[in-house]
Amino acid sequence: MKKNSINDIALFGGTPLFSEPLHVGRPNIGDRGRLLERMSDILDRRWLTNGGPYVEELENRIRILLGVKHCVAMCNATIALEIAIRALNLEGEVIIPSYTFIATAHALQWQEITPVFCDIDPATHNIDPTKIENLITPRTTGIMGVHVWGRACNIDALTTITKNNNLKLMFDAAHAFGCTHQGQMIGGFGDAEVFSFHATKFFNSFEGGAVTTDNDDLAKRIRGMRNFGFTGMDKVSHVGTNGKMSEISAAMGLTSLESMDEFIEANYKNYLSYSQHLSKIPGIRLIPFNPNERNNYQYVVMEIDRNAYGIDRDTLVKILHAENILARRYFYPGCHQMEPYRSYFPNAGLVLPETEKLTQKVLQLPTGTSVGEEEVNCISEFIQFINLNAKTVRGKYSQQKEDFRQNVPRS
């Protein structure tokens, strides 16, 4: 449905563009028949978890796909991060970007390790290596880069810094499954990398994740920690937790793996369509992907310059949500603005100017296999319509807020 006048905007009483919500993170579902076959097989076998054959198969296939020596599948990426952090003997302080999902910081804090927030490079949204050295103290034991949106962080610079300062280097690669850095699959960089296979990721195992590493000893410790610290029947050698992936998750993972190229193709098509449309709109910048690398195009991320576009990001989000376009503001307001970090480091924002700016202007749009050309065109045209009518929309929205404040019924 096309909007002809601003009264057609759902926030102002019009009919929403979509009758059903369009999500950022609607799960991709591969071959349903194949998944059901695998589920039935699991039930017949009565082997539901604890190192079952599907988990083993998934680990092997991922290991081969990524060209890495070890893949340890886990129940989710947050536990996988916690285990990798502990297995690497990180303690004291670890430097991470604040511009990330809260799990990155919590995985450290949960183990009483202080996350020290570093600013990002606004061009890449990734940790800015030039800002790291000032943050290193005698308590620093490691750096955790995050490959935000699947675009690899500056791995070379981070490797140099960690080598020069005798620190561990790990990566939160939650977004980066199937992506490359200088042609090499992400998974084998640093001491360890951690993936998320959560339902909202383009490749999912319902809940799930994995640690990948080329280090044999580390992989052994991680496997032990995933299973309560058991190193043999009735033998526990160190503290551990329960990070095991279930067989049903592995069945979904294997099925997703078989459709991975299809999922990426759908994301890529959506990305190209968004890109063609949105590049014409003033004040909108879609973040680019390096065409020389493999990308999963899992997130369509745009930055809004409120002056050039005419409407600020938060108002646009409200307008889009009313139309059933559930755009997201990842990672607003930044980890440093969330508890407990906000209380621990009330002035952190002063050293994170780029993070603070970015969290005010970034937005993710719906994509994935449940979104097609028609929806992308409709969303893009609507975003353009708002820009073309920005002044009137602003006026009407301010009036609506004022009426609401004074409790005046809407006309």
Q: In 3D, which of 365, 376, 222, 235 has the Cα closest to residue 301?
A: 365
3-state secondary structure of 247: helix
Count of other CB atoms within 10 angstroms of residue 20? 8
* Residue type, position 90, single letter: L
The set of residues, in sequence order, having a beta carbon less than 8 Å from that of 46 and lying 6+ positions away, is none
Q: Does 240 bind ligand T4K (CB under 6 A)?
A: no
The region of 61-69, 75-83, 132-140, 232-240 touching ligand T4K under the rule CB under 6 A is 75-83
**Closest approach of ligand T4K to the CB of residue 409, in Å:** 31
Residue 147 in tokens: 């490959």
- Give yes or no for a contact between 51 and 248, defined as CB atoms under 8 angstroms apart: no
Among 28, 98, 104, 205, which residue interacts with ligand T4K (rule: CB under 6 A)? 104
Name which position in 14, 16, 27, 229 contacts ligand T4K (CB under 6 A).
27
Six-digit token string for 98: 């604040």
Stretch that binds ligand T4K, among 73-81, 118-126, 179-187, 220-228 (CB under 6 A): 73-81
Whether 258 contacts 270, CB under 8 Å = no
**CB closer to ligand T4K out of 42 and 326:** 326
Q: How far is the CB of 196 from ligand T4K (least distance, A)?
A: 3
Of 209, 224, 310, 349, the one binding ligand T4K by CB under 6 A: 209
Question: Under the criterion CB under 6 A, does residue 196 sit at the interface with ligand T4K?
Answer: yes
Under 8 Å CB-to-CB from 132, ≥6 apart: which residues? 95, 118, 143, 158, 161
> Which stretch, 99-107, 176-184, 238-246, 289-297, contacts ligand T4K (CB under 6 A)?
99-107
Residue position matching structure tokens 């991470």: 96
Closest approach of Cβ 209 to ligand T4K, in Å? 5
Say whether residue 172 binds ligand T4K (CB under 6 A): yes
Minimum distance of ligand T4K from residue 32's CB (angstroms): 15
The answer to whether residue 159 forms part of the interface with ligand T4K (CB under 6 A) is: no
Strand order from edge to edge, sheet including 362-365? 284-286, 300-304, 362-365
Instruction: Tell me the three state secondary structure of residue 211.
Output: strand
Q: Can residue 375 be called a binding residue for ligand T4K (CB under 6 A)? A: no
Site residues for ligand T4K per CB under 6 A:
23-27, 76-78, 100-101, 103-104, 146, 172, 174-175, 196, 198-200, 209, 326, 330
